[in-house]
Chain A
């Protein structure tokens, strides 16, 4: 399952590579990763989208917490949350096509932020799915360039990931069901892969 992890980490050289290195060393997936300083310049906030079984996500969270540069993190999927991604897309806009592209941008609540005789640059924010849908709705042959920022996420309501708010209301992890604790079925083993 897809999870969005929000991470506060020390804004120090090498912190990003520790996170990225952890994911490659332990063969975890990264779908997207964004990072920037926060209102406190010593702290960066990273939003990392990953996927895996409950066990894998549990390991990812534990391994991230183990990194010395990671101060705090939450799994946004443990509660209601909002995710947004920004896309800049440059498309061919000529003759009759100009109106068509403009209308499509309006339908998706995008904004045209740069115009030439032959091209538009459209700015669009939304969930990853919405951005995908917009790309899908355009004529592929018109697309010149796609730039996406990756997902940023935030929890809904009073739940907040912050250093100066001491109590993050974090729901208790769901009790493990029998199915979750059951030992995994043995995967077929290729004897040549055994150490």
Chain B
């Protein structure tokens, strides 16, 4: 038997055994024993954030980009509550994350002790699972279980609440290689009969459509999806979370679908006769009005989470399994059938889709002297050759980044799709940059989102993270303003960003480089200059057109076929 270790030593040793490279955190009373152990070693690198929300988003960004679980360590009470937004963000997007929260000593739990909060209770609705460790003997096994649960099946955040006395008590250390949880057996292999049925349905389709989501990214199934897509020759659309799972520059890709998806993707959804959904969950921003959703389609749904199937839309062929394994099986069946792929040029369905595409739904005024936000993203795409990691916050800039940056690879597009968390972009970019120190990491944001976690600029300086912040500054909460313009008779209630800081000086105050760009003619040079500064964080403050809206758009309560195009499109589909 080995020698006895204190709980805090066990904690650090377990992280080492788990292969944890970075832990994002902020110290406090309840976790001081653990911090003392972290101080004595260098294998697990601690990244000190400036607010616990930043720690969760950074760990989340790291997880999304690398595929490895993100790890967070915070203290009890406010340390734990500050994490809730980040945990919920990861939960909605199924991101593997393990969050360790300190807790007051076990004998004080329930006594309203200083910095006490029921962390397990508060986080319960937004975690995959959570634990309170009541005895140091359970600590190592609980940590193992937490990583196992966070990273398998449908991934998600797991919270482990550790009272201070547990980190002081001693026991023999044993870190299990594997862990068995009798109530948790995720199914990854799809049912062979259902897979055959699904393929038969697909091969008999005249107007097929493939719609894939974040599950394909999470399950590292992009290569399988590409092979699958090419074997069939069918049109493919991705959700906001699924961008990059199928190459955006591939000729079968019809763009993103949903509220701000392309006209052709949404029209193809509405008119398809067979719909295959893989790793997607029929979110309301994707489906529009459910009563009008894919009225003519037989629906096949592949998902690792049975509760996602037939939750919002009744499905004809449900397949529970991992995206990668099911796609592999489907590929085999299609090859056996010697199917001739649908002709991209000759098939009437493709002709119809190309006709829809000809409305050029993403066009905008390219001659404008005032900076158009879409133009900034297009230039960013061109200058980075589509090879950058792009994080975003939430709102108009997020939609423009999704529409105009063509992601050819998975895990390059990092955004809060489900929860829609403003303030996500900058800390997430820190996690991405730590995961890929040499890569170009850009945070596309807006002035409203950026200030929500602006304190993390300090973290970026401390760890020398040369993120490029693309601030599309329109002096409005743009998406709120857009809805107020369309649906509230232009009553811009509290969506105006008054008293903004000077972002250039702000960047400089934090020890970084700031640049302001006010004319379209200056966009390209500024981006070039910023991207060339390999070792500096650069905040680019683009003063953009205040009146620009995100098009095309499906208004709430409308169907895919009721899309509105930008004014001046010369159709009757313009939004009044």
> Which chain A residues have a beta carbon within 8 Å of chain B's beta carbons?
9-10, 13-14, 17-18, 21, 25, 55, 58-59, 62-63, 65-66, 68-72, 163, 180-187, 189, 191, 194-195
Contact = CB atoms under 8 A, between A and B. Distances in A.
Interface in B502-534: none
B307 A195 contact: no
Contacts of A184: 290-291
A68 B124 contact: no
B310 A186 contact: no
A143 B370 CA distance: 79
B284 A55 contact: no
Contacts of A189: 289, 557
Most chain A CB within a 10 A radius of its CB, from B182, B293, B316: B182
A9 B181 CA distance: 12
Interface residues of B, number: 30
Nearest to B556: A194
B120 interface: yes
Nearest to A163: B182
Contacts of A70: 183
Nearest to B128: A68
B149 interface: yes
B307 A63 contact: yes
A185 B132 CA distance: 45
B125 A68 contact: no
Nearest to B284: A195
B3 to A, nearest CB: 30
B183 A69 contact: yes
B193 to A, nearest CB: 13
A68 B181 contact: yes
Most chain B CB within a 10 A radius of its CB, from A55, A66, A68, A194: A68
Given A66-B306, A189-B289, 10 more contacts: A9-B183, A10-B183, A14-B120, A62-B307, A62-B311, A68-B181, A72-B183, A184-B290, A186-B292, A191-B557
B386 to A, nearest CB: 32
Contact of A71 (B132, B182, B556): B182
Contacts of B125: 21, 25
A14 B109 CA distance: 15
B121 interface: yes
Nearest to B294: A183
Most chain B CB within a 10 A radius of its CB, from A181, A182, A187: A181
B184 interface: yes
Given A10-B183, A55-B314, A17 B557 contact: no
Q: Rank and list the top 7 A-B pairs by shortest CB-CB distance, nearest first.
A: A186-B291, A194-B556, A62-B307, A71-B183, A68-B129, A194-B557, A62-B306
B305 interface: yes
Interface string B110-138: 00000000001100110011001000000
A65 to B, nearest CB: 7
30 contacts: A10-B183, A14-B132, A17-B124, A18-B124, A21-B124, A21-B125, A55-B310, A58-B310, A59-B311, A62-B306, A62-B309, A63-B307, A68-B128, A69-B183, A71-B183, A181-B314, A181-B316, A183-B314, A184-B290, A184-B291, A185-B291, A186-B291, A187-B291, A189-B289, A189-B557, A191-B556, A191-B557, A194-B556, A194-B557, A195-B556
Nearest to B124: A21
Contacts of B149: 68
A98 B107 CA distance: 53
A185 B124 CA distance: 34
Interface string B287-306: 00111110100000000011
A189 B309 CA distance: 24
Contacts of A195: 284, 556
A184 B284 CA distance: 16
Contacts of A55: 310, 314
A18 B291 CA distance: 32
B555 to A, nearest CB: 8
Contacts of B284: 195
A62 B304 CA distance: 12
